[in-house]
Amino acid sequence: MNFEKELQERVACTEEIIGKYLPKEEGFQKSLLEAMNYSFLAGGKRLRPLLMLECYKMFGGDGQIVEPFMAAQEMIHTYSLVHDDLPAMDNDLYRRGKKTTHAVYGEAMAILAGDGLLNFAFETACRAFSMEGAERAGRAMQILAEKAGIYGMIGGQAVDVEAEKRKLRLDGEKLLFIHVHKTAALIQSAMMIGAHLAGADEEAVRELEKAGYAIGVAFQIQDDILDITSTLEELGKPVGSDEKNDKLTYVSVYGLEKSRQDVEELSNQALEILRNRQERNEFLEELVISLITRRK
């Protein structure tokens, strides 16, 4: 398998699927819809919907019920980035090589675009209830909401913001909480929903939750590493923004060498879970490996 070629093809397929669910830019609220679509179409790895689709295939899924959840997952991820970039948060002007939403549309419209994407995500996911396999949509919706909410991504973001505001020196436990909830939760969500919609039993879904934990934490540590080792051209956003904002990261707490070791160890933990299952997805395993060496 030529992984890079296969990745490009599958990302393109994912882009086509999720793009079908974007709102039309019309009506008196057209500016809001333009800002939402600008944010959504700004690029990115589409990792979360891709993981969802691959886990769906891994357990034999072959219908369309996964599609609205793929789009919803990416909308939730995108809204979190729009809000992350705001002046009150990370105050970034570039992401993925393009100006951030607030830099183009203003702070107020960026807030509304984020709100719109979050609400439209659940409106989009609700389409699954009228599709074949709808009996599984309820549990999938529960996973999506839980991992995106106060006990998931938003909870992690709140602890991160509070630590920055108070200039707290984070200990390892609290930093891990932030990474697990702020980043890993949506990766867990994607993998769990994909498996569940395909008919995987609860034990298998929980195994993928563990794999998503390891992948998500490794992904965030690698992001922290890239913030100090990459370039604007590679990363698509200003490097050193964490240090500029006096933001505590895994690298600032544990150092670069241990951070790199932990990325590899966590990635291997995820691979062990995936390789030990009767159901195998070679591409999914290669995708996890690629996260170790990514440069953007």
Per-residue pLDDT of the chain (296 residues; tens, 9 = 90+): 799 999 999 999 999 999 999 999 999 999 999 999 999 999 888 999 999 999 999 999 999 999 999 999 999 999 999 999 999 998 999 988 899 999 999 999 999 999 999 999 999 999 999 999 999 999 999 999 999 999 999 999 999 888 877 666 667 788 899 999 999 999 999 999 999 999 999 999 999 999 999 999 999 999 889 988 755 455 455 555 555 555 678 898 889 999 999 999 999 999 999 999 999 999 999 999 887 777 66
Asked if 269 and 214 count as a contact pair (C-beta separation under 8 A), the reply is yes
> From residue 186, how far is each of 111, 165, 179, 232 by CA, in Å?
21, 24, 11, 26
Question: Which residues in 208-230 are b (16+ Cβ under 10 Å) and which e?
Answer: bbebbbbbbbbbbbbbbbbbeeb
User: Could you give the CA distance from residue 175 to residue 163 in angstroms, rounded to a whole number?
Assistant: 10
Which pLDDT score, from 0 to 100, does residue 171 have?
74
Which pLDDT belongs to residue 163? 84
Q: What pLDDT shows up at residue 232?
A: 46
Half-sphere exposure (Cβ direction) of 143: Cα atoms closer than 13 Å: 28
pLDDT at 229: 79
The pair of three-digit structure tokens given for residue 198, joined into one six-digit string: 């395909």
The pLDDT of residue 165: 74
pTM of the model: 0.91
Domain positions in the chain are: 3-293
| Backbone torsion region of residue 44, taken as left when φ is above 0, otherwise alpha when ψ lies between -120 and 50, otherwise beta | left
Burial of 149 (0-12, 13-18, 19+ CB in 10 A): middle
Q: What is the pLDDT of residue 129?
A: 98
Please say whether the structural domain 3-293 has been given the CATH code 3.30.70.2190.
no
